Amino acid sequence: MVKTIVAFIIVFGILVVVHEFGHFYFAKRSGILVREFSIGMGPKVFWTRKNGTLYTIRILPLGGYVRMAGAAEDEDDQLQPGTPISVMVGDSGKVTRINASDQTTLFNGIPVIVTESDLVDQLVIKGYENGDESVVKTYAVDHDATIIEKDGTEVLIAPRDVQFQSATLWHRILTNFAGPLNNFILAWLVFAIMGFAMGGVASNSNAISGVLTNTPAKSAGLKSGDRIVSVNDKRTNSWTAVTSAITSDTHGDITLGIKRGQKTVKHVKITPQVKTVSGSKTRTVGIKRGIDTGFFAKLFGGFWNTTVLLFAALGHLFTHFSLNDLGGPVAIYANTATATQAGWSGILYWLGFLSLNLGIVNLLPIPALDGGKLVLNVIEAIRRKPLSQQTEGVVTIIGFGFVLFLMILVTWNDIMRYFVH
């Protein structure tokens, strides 16, 4: 169990860091202020600041985020009238630190009751100093000042020129796409390493490389080298098509069209076995997949095969929706346990599979996901102006609510599948 937990944390951590680093890198290159780069969720256990970004590690090793100035997930720093704060004034006469938290104290800070503030455009704070309400003092705020927020997190303020929406549309598109792009790169790298380390990758040919004993395929007389050219009269030109056709037919016998060498196709009737794999029932016939040992197959084959598999699964999900075809953290943990039993190759494959999966899912046009943000970018390009922040905020909240509701359903279903029998 300890081994599984460690593997789960490592795999999940790598996925999050790689994905969020994509957003982080392109945001920085685009002149967008990244206020915080967090690994994990919940209370901070470690933090440091470098080049204007606060780097934090939080107590729950699940998820993470890049907080870009002015983006939908960024908090509003505007100080409401009546808010008690303390400020530190630098040698230039401008405010360099603002404390809006009651969890910490600024040494030599000036106490102020805010009457008005603008930390985006005018960079100014007005208020009563030391409780003296007879005079409203005005403080100019430095462009690179920091603010200690209510939870004690100290980040740079977010002036207009470094906000997400101030970047060009092209830079914002790149920044939104960069997370999934990094997941694709990681997946390709992992599958390429596995391809060369293992001497080849699974072939997507419809040819059988072998037949397992005591299986329906063995009983039906199938042999190594046979090609399955059809399942129930539906053409199958690839291994993906073969497995999809066998597993999608949920009951009864199936008829396989077999081509042996140059001989005419013959039809064989088989009754598949039903097995439980990763909490779901699936039909198998006992055939082995071939191995492709070519250079380009090793370099790109694993990535391509898994991409085809995931898109086939995604298509099946839209046409035959089932919560059993979805998986959340519980399913990831359960499958990590299975991958761990296969050693480093199992964990590597699982990392590549999840990374590719995460990249594809994040590009779905659902608000709150990267794909939803890219749709908003396209709408802006067509309209030649962005949606209002209010409209974008409402759309994002609806999308987030949908994703959260779906995750609750998926997690409950995963618990029932894997831990309740």
Domain of 272, CATH number, reads 2.30.42.10
Is the separation of the CB atoms in 357 and 20 below 8 Å? no
Whether 382 is in a domain gets the answer yes
Range of the domain at 276: 204-289
The active-site residue out of 20, 36, 133, 149 is 20
Whether 104 is in a domain gets the answer yes
> Does the global pTM surpass 0.95?
no
The yes-or-no answer on residue 20 being catalytic is yes
Q: State the total domains in the chain.
A: 3
**Which residue do the tokens 């779906």 mark?**
406
Q: If the chain, 421 residues long, is cut into consecutive pieces of 10 residues, what is the mean pLDDT of each piece?
A: 84 91 96 94 90 92 87 79 94 94 88 95 95 92 94 92 94 96 97 93 88 89 90 89 80 87 83 73 86 91 88 79 78 83 89 94 90 93 86 84 87 81 59
- 405: which residues sit within 8 A by CB, 6+ positions away? none
* Domain stops at, among 243, 271, 289: 289
Say whether both 355 and 382 belong to one domain.
yes
Whole-angstrom Cα distance, residue 256 to residue 229?
8
Residue 253 is predicted with a pLDDT of 87
Say whether both 401 and 415 belong to one domain.
yes
CA 140 to centroid of chain Cα atoms: 40
* Domain stops at, among 289, 322, 338: 289
* Domain stops at, among 101, 129, 157: 157
Say whether both 312 and 247 belong to one domain.
no
Residue 278 is predicted with a pLDDT of 57
